[in-house]
Amino acid sequence: TTRTHNRGQMESRTAIFSAPTAADAAGPRTRHGFSPYVNNGGTVLGICGSDFAIVAGDTRLSEGYSISSRTYTKVIQLTDTTVLATAGMQADFHTLHKVLLTRVRQYEDDHGHQPSTPALAQLLSVILYSRRFFPYYAFNVLGGVDDDGKGCVFSYDAVGSFERVQYSASGTGHELVQPLMDQQIGWKDQRATALKPVLSVEATVDLLKDTFASASERDIYTGDYLDICVVQAGKKISIERCELKFD
């Protein structure tokens, strides 16, 4: 059969017992497409409060069913008041982060001060849209403190559409996480909204850890370690790494 032609000596005897591949099923005249995109997995989440924003991302980098790295950071600090976390394709979001850092330095050279979080939010949108017809496979969550000292989180799609929100999740675990945030932080479908507590940093970090623990249980691409980055008005940005499940 034609299948044995490309196999080595050892394999040819057993080749007839192996399952037909997709190429066999499609026929002899199929083209092998090259896809420029791959999903390296992972989940990122941003939540803001009255004077703080917390951005978190797991550190697992995957390709298919394999793990490329257990300790790859998806969270990057852009300025003293802004942090970005991105899920999607590592090649694209690593480059995007480099481009953004360069643009931040240029802004500082031109203006003499760091860009504000809403300014960076707009910049990220414009950079993403500049690649409208060959997008960055990057799903961003930007978090920080604005010029009024209030926490803000911005949520993006791959081509730069963005919105300021109270919380946002992106990545392979976003479907698991986003509705949970609706329930726990948004208090949607709860009527006693007058009793809704004002979130503190500690309570939000606890919720975040629980959320990622749950996401790691059910999403194979989420796990290993969790980077939690807290941006608070008037304080230095802090990053904490804690463990998730390694399976």
Partner 1 sequence: MSILEYNGGSVLAMKGKNCVVIGSDTRYGLQAQTIATDFPKTFKMTDQCYVGLVGLATDVQTIRERLQFRLKLYSLKEEREMEPVVVGNVISSILYERRFGPYFVEPVVAGLQGPEKKPYICAMDLIGAPVFADDFVVSGTSAQALYGLAETLYKPDMDEEDLFETVSQCLLAAVNRDAVSGWGASVTIITPDRIITRTLKGRHD
Q: Which residue ranges make up the site for partner 1 (CB under 8 A)?
A: 173, 175-180, 182-184, 188-190, 210-211, 213-215, 217-218
State the Cα–Cα distance between residues 243 and 240, nearest whole angstrom: 10
Q: What are phi and psi of 170, to 5 degrees?
A: -140, 160
**Residue 125 Cβ vs partner 1, minimum distance, rounded to whole Å:** 24
- CB nearer to partner 1: give 220 or 233: 220
Q: How far is the CB of 166 from partner 1 (least distance, A)?
A: 15
Q: Of 90 and 211, which CB lies nearer to partner 1 in the complex structure?
A: 211
Bridge-based pairing of strands 138-145 and 82-88 is: antiparallel
Helices (H), 137-197: 174-184
User: How many CA atoms are closer than 13 Å to the CA of 145, on its beta-carbon side?
Assistant: 19
Which residues is 232 bridged to in the sheet?
52
Residue nearer to partner 1 on the CB measure, 144 or 173: 173
Nearer to partner 1, 111 or 188 (CB): 188
Minimum CB separation of residue 219 from partner 1 in Å reads: 8
In angstroms, the first-to-last Cα distance of the chain is: 41
Nearest 10 degrees: Cα torsion 104, 108, 113, 119 = -40
CB of 228 to partner 1, least distance (A): 17
Q: 90-111 and 117-129 are packed helices; what angle lies between their axes, rounded to 10 degrees?
A: 130
Q: Output 99 or 213, the one with its CB closest to partner 1.
A: 213
CB 192 to partner 1: min, Å: 12
